[in-house]
Amino acid sequence: MSLSEEQVGQIAYLARLSLSNEALKSNTKDLNSILSLAEQLAQIDTDNITPMAHPLHMTQRLREDKVGEEDQSESFQAIAPKIGKKHYLVPTVIE
C-alpha cells in the first residue's frame, strides 16, 4: 500500500495543515516508507489474535457517577480569544 501526493494533500486538508509543494513531496515519501515498514506485519497470520486497542495490558477503571467539578469558567475564559456574555465567540459558522 502506498499513498499518492493527492491523498496526502487530502489528509493534510482534513487535519487543517497547510503544506508547501516541497513539504507535500517529502511527507509523501516519509509516510510511504513508514507504511512499507508496517506492511511487514501483514505477513504474519493474525487470524486468532484479538486486535490490540492499547499497548498497555490493563483495562479501563471506572468512575462513580458523582459531580465533583466547580464552575471555573471565569479562569477558563480568561485565556479565550473572545468571549461574549458567558459564551465563547468564534467567527460565524453558517450551516
Please give the residue ranges that form the binding site for another protein (CB under 8 A). Answer: 10-11, 14-16, 51, 53-54, 56, 58-69, 71-73, 76-77, 82, 84-95
CA-only gyration radius of the chain, Å: 22
DSSP for 24-55, written as a single string: HHHHHHHHHHHHHHHHGGGGS--TTSPPPS-S
- Comparing CB distances to another protein, the nearer of 22 and 94 is 94
Smallest gap from residue 80 Cβ to another protein (A): 10
Smallest gap from residue 33 Cβ to another protein (A): 20
